[in-house]
Structure 1
Amino acid sequence: MTPVNTTCTNMTVWETTINQLYTYVFLIIFIPGLLSNTLALWVLCRFISKKTKAIIFMINLTIADLVHVLSLPLRIHYYIQNDWPFGKALCMLCFYLKYLNMYASIVFLVCISIQRCTFLLRPFAAKNWKSRYDVCISTAVWVVVGLCCSPFILMRSNSGNTTRACFKDLPMRQLNLHSAVSMMVAAELLGFIGPLIIIGLCTYLIVNSLQQRNLKQKSTGNTRKALRMVRVCTGVFLFCFAPYHINFLLYLMVTQSIITNCVASEAIRLFHPISLCIASLNCCLNPLIYYFLTTEFKQQLSQHGSSVLRGRLMSMESTSSFRE
């Protein structure tokens, strides 16, 4: 992956370990990620009539997770067989979807935090807010994030003797210093530091509002729910995406030969796949936001489950009566 530093140490054993790591992690993620996000999308779209409380953003977050989860079987096939027979276009698409999921998830977590904070501090804004506003914002997010993720494809080369290679085995293109620095700054500022500041500010404002209302003995359940929502968004954001973005800056410096020390470059390259696996866990953690923090989600899921159970019991009773 990094031709300048591959002469430092022999990474053959670690390359095999990476394949096993990706295989096991993606296998663990696939089933629960598919089931939880499919159920979440179904409930959010069909049974929640209230379009406030960031429901539209949650739907888009679920779609982002599902798109990535559905590409995991192809990734698992590649890391088991060490061969990609599906063509260059599908390889680039799956490679692209990983980063699209990551950064779309980050932006929608930011949108959820901002909306919950804004509606809590300005209740009248929530009353006048329209669902189409969230739809327009979500569309803009997909377009902007989609364009911003395109450099991850352009950074990879699939030529020469690597036509059956994909993902981590695609060689990295060498960029000039100005382009490399620009990409690093943009990815870190727009993809991590900026969202972290925004989510942190939302948390601070909600905590401050909660403290003021406690002093006035006017604290409401909505305030505490909004605080839990933003805190969980912050927790998912930090746990899943902080390791990758901390290492990404150093990893890009290694691939562009800015860092040439063998010990440092090896440690950075070793941690890179681990950070990507941690980032992929957001597909399983995001549904927790919907279930544990959205009252409507739990109510509709419970009501639907109860109605299905009652229908089956009535069907069994009618069948047994008919037989008697």
Structure 2
Amino acid sequence: MNLANQSCESAGNLKTYQHHVYAVLYSIILAPGLLGNVLAIWVFRAYIKETKKAVVFMMNLAVADLLQVLSLPLRIYYYLNNSWPFGHPLCMICFYLKYVNMYASIFFLVCVSVRRCELIMCPLKYNSSRRKGDLYICVLGWLLVCLSCLPFPLLRSPNYGSKDINSSLSSSEASSVRDEPVCFAELPLRTVSPPAAWALLVIAEVFGFVIPLILVLACTCMTAGSLWEAGTGAIPDQGEKRRALRMVLGCAIVFFVCFVPYHITMPLDFLVKANAVSDCTLRDLILRCHPVTLCLASLNCSLDPLMYYFTTDEFWRRLSKPDIPEGMTFNRRLSCITGGQED
């Protein structure tokens, strides 16, 4: 099994390449992600009790994105300096939060899609008790994601000199890594039996990617289908249906751009780390593509605020009239804008 590593030792710049990719792409994501999600939380805070259009889910999505963005400066420092001086506990916290916030983002994107589709198909079923139910769904979602992501840090070993460190690297790279503190994906993997490793991988792919993808696509198709039924259905207003479709399409686009590439390369990267891929060219291609797709999985921190702005009335209304008192009801705002027609 180790012959693959020995025959591919010519890929000596792989670690340098990966660090450059991470440092550059995370630096690009940092500023717009930070500003956009702080702004989104400020906007949605004024509407969370006043409208039912999945704002509670979007606010939790913005919180998940913001938490992921806040860990990026430490990641950028590590990849620029090739060293982690902040201690192993903080490394594990940042490593853990990366996956918690990524899968929390997936969870809340699905919730937004389902809620907007439901409000178009069955709007009369949504009442104050359902709004409270959304809060319980958010709490349950956070707990589920936090528990499901525990294997990511638990499978990593704090022993920097472990023999199983970075099996995908050459022997010269591995020896240099042992001389300095490493963090994130370069932490050595604990020994896990192949059946257990495959079981964890399949569970992560099915429940963290395949099922959410099916739900997002189903909501998109159902919402688009409601537009073809002009003047019929629970909501005959075509404008409201188009706004719902923009939101669901926005969720689908973010999902495809950010999470589909990562979940394609994740099992391939696992096969390389397990030395199940012997072809050096293919190994090198996978190990160079995986960091890019991992950064794309963080790009949703910057894309989600754009989705809010272009698909939600609440977002641009709040930005266009920031001086309106927050205590004013949503209906009164609409009345001022539409001349009382919504009453």
Q: TM exceeds 0.5?
A: yes
Matched, 1:270 2:288: yes
Deviation at 1:218, TM superposition (A): 4.2
- The one-letter code matched in structure 2 to 1:204 is C
Using the TM superposition, give the Cα deviation of residue 268 of structure 1 relative to its aligned residue in structure 2, in angstroms: 1.4
Matching of residue 178 in structure 1 with residue 195 in structure 2: yes
Matched residues in 2 for 1:4 and 1:185: separation?
Answer: 27
Q: What are structure 2's unaligned runs of at least 5 residues?
A: 162-177, 326-343
1:310 corresponding residue in structure 2: none
1:209 equivalent in structure 2: 226
Aligned to 2:25: 25
Tell me the amino acid that sits aligned with residue 133 of structure 1: G
**1:188 partnered with 2:205:** yes
Q: Number of residue pairs matched?
A: 306
Deviation string, structure 1 residues 288-318 (Cα, Å, up to 9, x no partner): 12111110121112110689xxxxxxxxxxx
Greater Cα shift, 47-56 or 239-248: 47-56
Q: Show the 5 A alignment for 1:109-124.
A: 109-124=109-124
Q: Does 1:240 align with 2:239?
A: no
Q: Is residue 48–residue 297 contact of structure 1 (8 Å, CA) maintained in 2?
A: no
Aligned partner (choices 279, 296, 300) of residue 318 of structure 2: 300
Output the amino acid matched with 1:176.
Answer: S
Secondary structure in 2 aligned to 1:73? helix
Aligned with 2:189: secondary structure? Answer: coil
Q: Tell me, what secondary structure is at the counterpart of 2:156?
A: coil
* Structure 1: stretches of 5+ with no match in the other structure: 308-324
CA offset digits 1:2-57 (Å, max 9, x no partner)? 97743213332121121111111111111111111111111111355424111000
In structure 2, C-alpha distance between the alignment counterparts of 1:252 and 1:76, rounded to whole Å: 24
Secondary structure at the counterpart of residue 259 of structure 1: coil
Please give the root-mean-square deviation of Cα atoms over the aligned residues, in Å: 2.1
Q: What SS class does the counterpart of residue 83 from structure 1 fall into?
A: coil
CA 1:140–1:242 in 2, change beyond 3 Å: closer, same or farther? same
Equivalence for 1:311: none
Superposed displacement of residue 204, structure 1 = 1.1
Q: Which moved more, 1:8-17 or 1:28-37?
A: 8-17
- Report the equivalent of 1:222: 240
Distance in 2, matches of 1:52 and 1:292, equals: 18
Written as runs of structure 1 = structure 2, the 5 A alignment for 1:1-324 is 5-7=4-6, 8-46=8-46, 49-127=49-127, 129-161=129-161, 162=178, 164-213=181-230, 218-304=236-322
Q: 1:48 touches 1:296 (CA, 8 Å); kept in 2?
A: no
Q: Secondary structure at the match of 1:12?
A: coil
d(CA) in 1 for partners of 2:264 and 2:129?
A: 37
Distance 1:218 1:300 in 2: 27
Question: Is contact 2:160-2:187 (8 Å) kept?
Answer: no
Distance 2:118 2:3 in 1: 49
The residue identity in structure 2 corresponding to 1:97 is L
The equivalent of 2:167 in structure 1 is: none
Moved more, 162-171 or 107-116: 162-171
CA contact (8 A) 1:51 1:131 kept: no
SS at match of 1:79: helix
For 1:4 and 1:70, how far apart are their aligned partners in 2?
Answer: 40
Amino acid of the structure 2 residue aligned with 1:302:
S
- Amino-acid identity (%): 43
Partners of 1:66 and 1:264 lie apart in 2 by 35
2:104 counterpart letter in structure 1: A
Give the superposition deviation at 1:124. 0.6
Cα distance in 1 between the residues matched to 2:2 and 2:32: 37
Amino acid at match of 2:309: Y
* Counterpart Cα distance in 2 of 1:151 and 1:305: 47
Contact 1:200 1:234 in 2 (8 A): yes
Given that 1:106 and 1:237 are in contact with CA atoms closer than 8 Å, whether structure 2 keeps it comes out as yes
Q: TM-score, normalised by structure 2?
A: 0.84
Give, in whole Å, the separation in 2 of the partners of 1:133 and 1:18.
Answer: 43
Q: Match of 1:191, as an amino acid? A: G
What TM-score comes out, normalization by structure 1 length? 0.88
- Residues 210 and 219, structure 1, Cα contact 8 Å, conserved in 2: no
